[in-house]
Structure 1
Amino acid sequence: MRFGKPRPLTEARTPADLLAPSTLANLGARGAMWQGFAQVVGKGIVLLTTIVLARLLSPEEYGLIALALVVMAYAETLADAGVAQALVYLPRSAEIARSALLISILMGGVLAAGALVGAPLISEFFGREEVTSLVQVLAVSLLATALAAVPESLLRRELRFQRLTAATVIRAVVTGALSMSLAFAGYGAWSLPIGTAAGSIMYAVSCWVLLPEHVSWRIWHVDSQSFRANLTYGFPVAGSNLLARLIFDIDYLIIGRMLGAQALGFYILAFRLPELLIINVFFVLSSVMFPLYARVRNEPVRLQNGYLKSVQMQALYGVTAGVGLAVVAPALVPVLFGDQWDAAVLPLVFLALYASARSLGAGANDVYKAIGRPSLSIWISIVRLAVLIPVLLFATQWGIAGVAAAQFGVTLLFAAGMQTVAAKVIGVRGGQLMRAVLPGLVCGAIVTLVGLGVRTLPLGNELLTVSAVVAACVAAVFAALRLGFPSLYRELLALAFRR
């Protein structure tokens, strides 16, 4: 991979060169391929790290790490003040990029300083003094995340996913290698926070090194119009992202506060598998689809067709994989993590179904942002959060399994609502959406029947059971697509073998 001398930002590839239908489709497939490769490598390392740490750390230690990481995740959502999304949407100019850099540096610095000073208050909220120092270590990653925002979004805007892949893999390798090394050396709960901070720093450095365009660091020369443009678009996006983070992680806060660090350790580990195998795939597709939607936002037919195809693919994968993970959970947890994590089995069942429900609503937020209406995401998120918090608090009386089941139910309800709003704003009919998700629902039902049937067989041990269920379900889905949805089957084959 060769990287030439950085060129001025104004010499970036023009949208006209990229908007031809065949070119756009190829760019989307190529982007998904590279981001998918990064996801497989990066999340494979994360999964390996999770397995190693689960066998070296106690649920209590794992829960302490989770308490610190959850709070930092909220702060990281605001670290760039939404300028990463603004750079994709706003006109290309050096002034826009320079003002975005200024905003991200200011916001990252403020949040990092706030984490250092406010760490004792966070530990007091959870009732665990050990959280203070862990949060202070992770404050470094807040500033690193902010510094990476501009080069990352410029690479994404120009669809340079190959370079983003390299940066993502570097971060995963640094985080995983350092975390596991420290865990083996006996550093306990310190291992993952230190590894995370180091990985964030390396990601920021890699993004800047791999960026071919030149971005001026003369941030004291920023015109007010560009500054306002970034804030006008970025703040609603940042608010929407924060609300989304609250929705998807509020269960961590509630469990940590109400049920304690050990319960959170079991819950986090249960969530790790659907997150790595299903939910992060949606993030890959979102990172590819948002810039593509933004390019065709003035072409209604192409936007509608692209959105329906995205919904179809995400529902097919999400529902099938989520249901399959729920079916195999009782055998999979002891195989991967050991018998000490048996309490994570039932929460994993519900959280895998929760991931399936999320797949049915995936893509809606990308459309809202692409057509310049990120405020839709905010209002939907506010309503959803208002419903979710009391439901989760009520569900804590049944422990972490009750919280997981409540997440699944609320998510399923709001997936339907989000798709209804998205269909209305881009002019898609309800029947078209139903046809898009039908293959996923059919394959999910087949996986349920086949997987539960295989689990009743006397196979002797958990590893054989996992292998047999996975093989049988994959074969069943393959047959269902070929016989029941032949055009989709051929399309999937064409995408798989596209060069």
Structure 2
Amino acid sequence: MSFKNARFYLRDNHPGYNMTPPTDRLPQAEINRRALDSEHVLENLGARTVNGSALALGAQLTRMVLQFLSTFILARLLAPADFGLLAMAGTVTAFVGAFTDLGLQTATVQRKDIDQNLVSGFLIVGVGVAAGMALLLFAFAPFSVLVFDDDRIPLLLMIVAASLPVGALGAQHSALLTRQMRWLTLHSIGLFSQLLGLIAAVALAAWTDIGYWALVVQIWVNAGVSSMLAWLMCPWRPSRITDWGSVRGALGFGLNLTGFAFANYFHRQLDNVLVGWKGGATELGYYSRAYSLLLLPLNLVNGPLSSALLPALSRVQNDPVRWREAYLTGLSAVTIVSAGISAVLFGGSKVIIPLIFGPGWDDARLIFSALAPCMLATTPMNTTAWIYMSLGRTDLLLRWALIASPTYAVAFVIGLPAGGFGVALGYTIAATLLMLPCFWMATRRTTISMRDVVAVLAPPTVVAILLGPALEQVCARVGFVPGLVAIFVAGVLYAAASVIMIVWLPQYGGLKAMSSKTLSRVQHKLVALRGGAR
């Protein structure tokens, strides 16, 4: 195969994948048509979803290892204030970032039919909006010092903002890869860009004295490499727009999703603003590192299943029975895994924080222990976005955000007098109160009942509530190494309880079937490998 063919059609090893023949002589229009086509994914959709989830889980585990490694090294090379400065700038860029994509990447994945004109329009609009938002941040940067009371923020904010259009360049190419369920290509792009960003940041932090600028370089390398590889691995190329009407007509889905992201910003970033305003860069450094450490396992759970299930749910949105079964299976997996992680993180925080961050991060441990229980609510709640997006009801997703975001904001303000710990505790309490209303609103007028939801959520949650405090008591009474052993034993106990739940409880039948298929496929591949070795 020529380099050009390898470049345009890197083959993913999915069962039933429609292998594309060499395309040296194909015109770009035909290459674009093939890149836009996703009919072949309906063949063996279940197998593709299982494979995608397994690949995504492996990729997310690798990402988590890289992130832990990054935190482990950079926390020893940089000061907490360096992370706090980047969190201040990130608070502003995240606000603007809510408008950058306009939900167009998700719209490309969710829509049943797409064409060259529509995707080209989405790309042009996405990059244009990202560039406009970067310019808006340039104009705001001089005034940011009034908010954060730190004269290093304006330049830092402008440099971070300039990366927005760079990341937007690869958004539609990544969406097309997702739509075609080309999981291996997608995760390879993400891991490679993250690895290069980590290498760049660690090298600069270790061998120069540029401090927080090493973290900025990490952002730029990640965005640039990701977009470049997306263009390299997806052969689709934009063309001149012949009908802007079709593009405008499809923007409603994305605009509602953007409205949700905008409203959601206030409980994702307002806590950073309040903690930074009250406690300064050092207090925010403790809070942001604790929150980032919590997000790692949360993303480990939601990220892989979201990337695999959202395209699958979108493809079967007109088949209520298959759609219900697929969603409840995903919810089961998310709930069982996240509840166990929450219990272990809460109970083992006395050991985990010194292990990851090293000495001098005791304040982060208190914040982390207050945040960890919120995973029992927030991780399952995040799956309701699958319902709204796969059914094209982003208008209801926006309505929920307008209810939830003020609730979180009030909880943050109430907890603020106690600093980062109080804000974290307020977050956990608010998430717990919002959990059942969130599911009720999402499942109305669908084939999923609240009885289905509670049956899935209750068993893992009860086990986690019993296990977490028990592990905390053990870790409080023993040293560091015995504490690690206690965390391992707690993990094994929860895993055993999970197996019992999946095997014996009928509400986890879909997850049991999916697990059996996955194990069977792994077994067959191992047998094939042994046969080939002989």
* TM-score, scaled relative to structure 1: 0.93
SS in structure 2 of the partner of residue 339 of structure 1: coil
Long gaps (5+) in structure 1: none
Matches within 5 A, 1:200-215: 200-212=223-235, 214-215=236-237
Aligned to 1:404: 424
> Given the alignment, which residue of 61, 65, 79 partners 1:58?
79
8 Å CA contact 1:49–1:176 kept in 2: the answer is yes
Shift of 1:471: 1.7
Aligned to 1:475: 492
> Given the alignment, which residue of 80, 91, 97 partners 2:119?
97
> Given the alignment, which residue of 453, 460, 463 partners 1:443?
463
8 Å CA contact 2:278–2:419 kept in 1: the answer is no
CA-atom RMSD in angstroms: 2.1
- With over 3 angstroms needed to count, the CA separation of the structure-2 counterparts of 1:157 and 1:75, relative to structure 1, is same
Aligned to 1:179: 201
- With over 3 angstroms needed to count, the CA separation of the structure-2 counterparts of 1:155 and 1:483, relative to structure 1, is closer
Q: How far apart are the structure 1 equivalents of 2:334 and 2:500?
A: 20
- With over 3 angstroms needed to count, the CA separation of the structure-2 counterparts of 1:400 and 1:116, relative to structure 1, is same
- With over 3 angstroms needed to count, the CA separation of the structure-2 counterparts of 1:496 and 1:465, relative to structure 1, is farther
Shift of 1:34: 2.2
8 Å CA contact 1:247–1:381 kept in 2: the answer is no
Shift of 1:315: 0.9
8 Å CA contact 1:423–1:429 kept in 2: the answer is yes
Q: Which letter does structure 1 place at the counterpart of 2:53?
A: A
8 Å CA contact 1:439–1:485 kept in 2: the answer is no
Aligned to 1:223: 243
Tell me which moved more, 474-483 or 261-270. Answer: 474-483
8 Å CA contact 1:294–1:371 kept in 2: the answer is yes
Aligned to 2:352: 332
SS in structure 2 of the partner of residue 188 of structure 1: coil
8 Å CA contact 1:138–1:193 kept in 2: the answer is yes
> Given the alignment, which residue of 173, 179, 187 partners 1:165?
187
> Given the alignment, which residue of 480, 486, 492 partners 2:503?
486
SS in structure 2 of the partner of residue 215 of structure 1: coil
Aligned to 2:394: 374
Aligned to 2:526: none
SS in structure 2 of the partner of residue 260 of structure 1: helix
Aligned to 2:525: none
Aligned to 2:103: 82
Matched, 1:462 2:474: no
Shift of 1:204: 0.6
Aligned to 1:8: 31
The percent identity for this pair of structures is 21
Tell me which moved more, 384-393 or 277-286. Answer: 277-286
Shift of 1:447: 2.5
8 Å CA contact 2:302–2:379 kept in 1: the answer is yes
Q: How far apart are the structure 1 equivalents of 2:78 and 2:409?
A: 30
> Given the alignment, which residue of 167, 170, 177 partners 1:155?
177
Aligned to 1:419: 439
- With over 3 angstroms needed to count, the CA separation of the structure-2 counterparts of 1:246 and 1:156, relative to structure 1, is farther
Shift of 1:226: 2.1
Structure 1 stretches of 4+ moved >6 Å: none
Aligned to 1:69: 90
Q: How far apart are the structure 1 equivalents of 2:458 and 2:301?
A: 20
Shift of 1:39: 1.7
Q: How far apart are the structure 1 equivalents of 2:94 and 2:345?
A: 25
Matches within 5 A, 1:293-312: 293-312=313-332
Q: Which letter does structure 2 place at the counterpart of 1:444?
A: A
Tell me which moved more, 340-349 or 45-54. Answer: 45-54
SS in structure 2 of the partner of residue 494 of structure 1: helix
Q: How far apart are the structure 2 equivalents of 1:43 and 1:116?
A: 32
SS in structure 1 of the partner of residue 252 of structure 2: helix
8 Å CA contact 2:35–2:176 kept in 1: the answer is no
Shift of 1:148: 1.5
Aligned to 2:135: 113
Q: How far apart are the structure 1 equivalents of 2:246 and 2:329?
A: 35
Residue-by-residue CA offset, 1:424-478 (whole Å, 9 max, x unaligned):
13121222111111332133134226524542554xx324312x12221122123
Tell me which moved more, 395-404 or 82-91. Answer: 82-91
Q: How far apart are the structure 2 equivalents of 1:249 and 1:469?
A: 34
Q: How far apart are the structure 2 equivalents of 1:102 and 1:15?
A: 22
Matched, 1:29 2:50: yes
Q: How far apart are the structure 2 equivalents of 1:308 and 1:33?
A: 17
Residue-by-residue CA offset, 1:143-166 (whole Å, 9 max, x unaligned):
112111111111111111111111
Aligned to 1:46: 67
8 Å CA contact 1:450–1:476 kept in 2: the answer is no
Matched, 1:270 2:290: yes
Q: How far apart are the structure 1 equivalents of 2:451 and 2:318?
A: 23
Q: Which letter does structure 2 place at the counterpart of 1:328?
A: G
Residue-by-residue CA offset, 1:161-198 (whole Å, 9 max, x unaligned):
11111110121012111111111122111110121112
Q: How far apart are the structure 2 equivalents of 1:70 and 1:463?
A: 37
Shift of 1:16: 4.8
Q: Which letter does structure 1 place at the counterpart of 2:462?
A: V
> Given the alignment, which residue of 116, 127, 131 partners 2:153?
131
Matches within 5 A, 1:336-347: 336-347=356-367
Tell me which moved more, 143-152 or 479-488. Answer: 479-488
Aligned to 1:194: 217
SS in structure 1 of the partner of residue 170 of structure 2: helix
8 Å CA contact 2:41–2:181 kept in 1: the answer is no
Q: How far apart are the structure 1 equivalents of 2:202 and 2:94?
A: 21
- With over 3 angstroms needed to count, the CA separation of the structure-2 counterparts of 1:275 and 1:307, relative to structure 1, is same
Q: How far apart are the structure 1 equivalents of 2:518 and 2:493?
A: 19
8 Å CA contact 2:384–2:439 kept in 1: the answer is yes
Q: How far apart are the structure 2 equivalents of 1:58 and 1:496?
A: 44
Q: How far apart are the structure 2 equivalents of 1:112 and 1:358?
A: 31
SS in structure 1 of the partner of residue 162 of structure 2: helix
Shift of 1:15: 5.2
- With over 3 angstroms needed to count, the CA separation of the structure-2 counterparts of 1:173 and 1:225, relative to structure 1, is same
Q: How far apart are the structure 1 equivalents of 2:378 and 2:494?
A: 20
Q: How far apart are the structure 2 equivalents of 1:129 and 1:429?
A: 53
Q: How far apart are the structure 1 equivalents of 2:488 and 2:265?
A: 35
Q: How far apart are the structure 1 equivalents of 2:119 and 2:333?
A: 33
SS in structure 2 of the partner of residue 182 of structure 1: helix
Q: How far apart are the structure 2 equivalents of 1:175 and 1:159?
A: 25
SS in structure 2 of the partner of residue 128 of structure 1: coil
Q: Which letter does structure 1 place at the counterpart of 2:360?
A: Q
